[in-house]
């Protein structure tokens, strides 16, 4: 989707006939657009969804914020419960016999880094509509790692669900490659889908509606350096007087190449500000482009606003300074209790099935698939603190309004001020220039506190 203007100029042929003649040559000044083109070209081999995620900053930020709040903002706990109804007095005594089951499951969750896996799953569901992880077992048959499986068409390898032709029930998975098909059983894969409307276990990518916005955003990103270059170095129309020079069939190509080399040297000299020497009479005319930069930036902001609105991200989380306290609280509450809660509820149901927690309970107790479980593990999301969001947001926005630019340059400090900072969010948005002060809690300490 490159709009980069290539080097120098496309030479017009001035030799339409023999004899006295003149021509006008359009010269484009040299720029760094080749470097910009090379930067975007390195993403060409990636699936479109991953390419947009890597090249559209606002898209990546919104997805990372959403995934961070779903998987990491409050953290989660596991709760041991009887598999059948019991009175409260009997329940406590009964669960004491199986207290080691919870400790076993918590240890496995920690070993496979489940909170990070859930974050990755949220990101992949947003991009591709599905996410799959192969359960890597140790020598005792216990999961020790969750390996990310390809769900996009990368190198012709893509995880596909295998369905029963009649019942459409999930029977397994396969990855088709040049070396043949790799097949997995249902129990081998921890699998998530995003809004499975068709019941085909493929899910729907959140990017389906945002592809036009991403394309426009990329075009604008790639066009900006070119426009700024043109504002500094305008187009030059060079009229070269070639009268008095007779071109024969024998030397026409030679003379043509010589003039083109002189024009190239002229263009490079204009761009660098150095002196130019030529043995031809050359008249130069500057063509200044009138670029409405404000309108361009406003249109760029509108594309970002569409992405923010689609994911329902509170604007103060993406450095929007003009948000009052009431609006910030309303947006944040709707985000947590709506978008985040819906995704958390789905992930909870998947984890509490035979796909994960029930499977771990069976392994811990040594039960076969046909035997009834005596206890179950419940996945409980911790509440996300929204109590003082008004005051916290006011403090963070006030810093930005006072010209400190804290939300844009140091989002880690802004999120700490707003009480929304977590180690996973810090990792995802790749915060740079973190300020480590004595009274601030480090990401490592925060992660340790959440695990406890």
Is residue 12 in a domain?
no
Residue 148 within a domain? yes
Same domain, 140 and 186: yes
The rounded distance, in Å, linking the Cα atoms of 439 and 437 is 6
What per-residue confidence (pLDDT) applies to 294?
A: 77
In a domain, 139, yes or no: yes
Q: What is the pLDDT of residue 14?
A: 32
Distance CA 196, CA 208 (A): 14
Residue 386 near residue 314 (C-beta atoms within 8 A): no
| Bridge partner list, 295 | none
Nearest to 317 by CA among 418, 394, 179, 176: 418
Domain endpoint, select from 179, 204, 229: 204
199 and 155 together in one domain: yes
Q: Are 312 and 337 in contact (CB under 8 A)?
A: no
Q: Are residues 224 and 276 in the same domain?
A: yes
Which pLDDT score, from 0 to 100, does residue 18 have? 33
pLDDT tens-place values along the chain, 452 residues long: 222 222 222 332 333 333 333 333 333 333 455 666 667 777 777 888 888 998 888 999 999 999 999 998 888 999 999 988 888 888 888 988 999 999 999 999 999 999 999 999 999 999 999 999 999 999 888 999 999 998 876 555 788 899 988 888 889 999 877 777 889 999 999 999 998 888 889 889 999 889 888 888 878 777 777 776 666 666 666 666 666 555 556 666 676 677 677 666 666 665 555 555 555 666 666 666 677 777 777 887 888 889 999 999 988 888 776 667 778 888 888 899 999 999 999 999 999 998 999 999 999 999 988 899 999 999 999 988 766 555 666 665 566 555 554 455 555 555 555 555 555 555 555 544 444 444 444 444 444 444 44
The answer as to whether 352 is a domain residue is no
Domain boundary (239, 265, 293) is at: 293
Residues 200, 242 within the same domain: no
Cα–Cα distance measured from residue 330 to residue 348, given in angstroms and rounded to the nearest whole number: 26
Q: Are residues 198 and 144 part of one domain? A: yes
Same domain flag for 236 and 191: no
Same domain, yes or no: 194 and 230: no
Q: Let me know if residue 137 belongs to a domain.
A: yes
Give how many domains the chain has, as a whole number: 2
Q: Are residues 277 and 218 in the same domain?
A: yes
Residues 163 and 222 placed together within one structural domain of the fold: no
Does residue 228 fall inside a structural domain? yes
The C-alpha atoms of residue 316 and residue 60 are separated, in whole angstroms, by: 16
Range of the domain at 30: 22-42+214-293
Beta bridge partners of 133: 148, 190
Residue with tokens 């603190």: 385
Please name the residue that has the structure tokens 């569409």. Answer: 306
Q: CA torsion 118→121→127→130, rounded to 10°?
A: -140
Task: Say whether both 135 and 193 belong to one domain.
Answer: yes
User: Which of 357, 361, 348 is closest to 100 using CA atoms?
Assistant: 361
Residues 51/55/56/57 CA torsion (nearest 10 deg): 130
Q: What is the pLDDT of residue 437?
A: 43
Q: Cβ(168)–Cβ(161) under 8 Å?
A: no
Residue 262 inside a domain? The answer is yes
Q: Are residues 189 and 219 in the same domain?
A: no
Residue finishing a domain among 293, 324, 345: 293
Q: Is 352 exposed, middle or buried (0-12, 13-18, 19+ CB in 10 A)?
A: middle
| Domain contains 230 | yes
């Amino acid at each position: 989707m490159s709009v980069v203007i290539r080097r120098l100029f496309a030479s017009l042929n001035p030799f339409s006939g023999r004899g006295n003649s003149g021509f006008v040559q359009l010269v484009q000044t040299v720029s760094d657009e080749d470097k910009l083109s090379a930067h975007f070209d390195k993403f060409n081999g990636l699936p479109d969804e991953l390419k947009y995620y890597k090249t559209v900053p606002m898209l990546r930020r919104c997805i990372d914020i959403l995934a961070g709040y779903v998987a990491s903002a409050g953290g989660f706990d596991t709760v041991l419960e009887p598999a059948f109804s019991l009175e409260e007095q009997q329940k406590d005594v009964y669960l004491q016999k199986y207290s080691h089951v919870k400790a076993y499951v918590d240890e496995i969750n920690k070993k496979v880094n489940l909170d990070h896996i859930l974050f990755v799953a949220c990101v992949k569901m947003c991009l591709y509509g599905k996410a799959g992880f192969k359960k890597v077992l140790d020598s005792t048959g216990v999961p020790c790692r969750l390996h990310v499986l390809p769900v996009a068409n990368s190198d012709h390898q893509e995880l596909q669900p295998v369905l029963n032709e009649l019942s459409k029930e999930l029977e397994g998975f396969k990855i088709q490659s040049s070396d043949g098909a790799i097949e997995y059983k249902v129990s081998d894969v921890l699998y998530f889908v995003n809004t499975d409307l068709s019941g085909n276990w493929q899910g729907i990518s959140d990017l389906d509606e945002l592809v036009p916005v991403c394309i426009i955003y990329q075009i604008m990103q790639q066009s900006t350096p070119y426009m700024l270059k043109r504002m500094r170095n305008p187009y030059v129309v060079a009229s070269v007087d070639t009268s008095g020079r007779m071109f024969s069939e024998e030397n026409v190509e030679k003379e043509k190449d010589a003039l083109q080399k002189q024009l190239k040297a002229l263009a490079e000299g204009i761009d660098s500000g150095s002196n130019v020497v030529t043995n031809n009479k050359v008249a130069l005319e500057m063509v200044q482009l009138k670029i409405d930069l404000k309108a361009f930036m406003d249109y760029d902001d509108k594309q970002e606003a569409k992405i923010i609105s689609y994911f329902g991200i509170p604007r103060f989380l993406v450095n929007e300074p003009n948000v009052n306290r009431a609006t910030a609280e309303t947006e944040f509450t709707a985000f947590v209790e709506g978008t985040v809660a819906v995704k958390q509820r789905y992930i909870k149901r998947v984890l509490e099935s035979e796909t994960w927690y029930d499977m771990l309970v069976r392994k811990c107790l040594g039960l076969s698939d046909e035997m009834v479980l005596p206890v179950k593990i419940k996945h409980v999301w911790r509440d996300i603190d929204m109590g003082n969001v008004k005051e916290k947001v006011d403090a963070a926005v006030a810093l930005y309004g006072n010209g400190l630019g804290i939300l844009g340059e140091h989002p880690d400090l802004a999120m700490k001020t707003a009480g929304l900072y977590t180690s996973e969010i810090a990792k995802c948005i790749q915060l740079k220039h973190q300020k480590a002060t004595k009274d601030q809690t480090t990401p490592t300490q925060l992660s340790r506190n959440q695990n406890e």
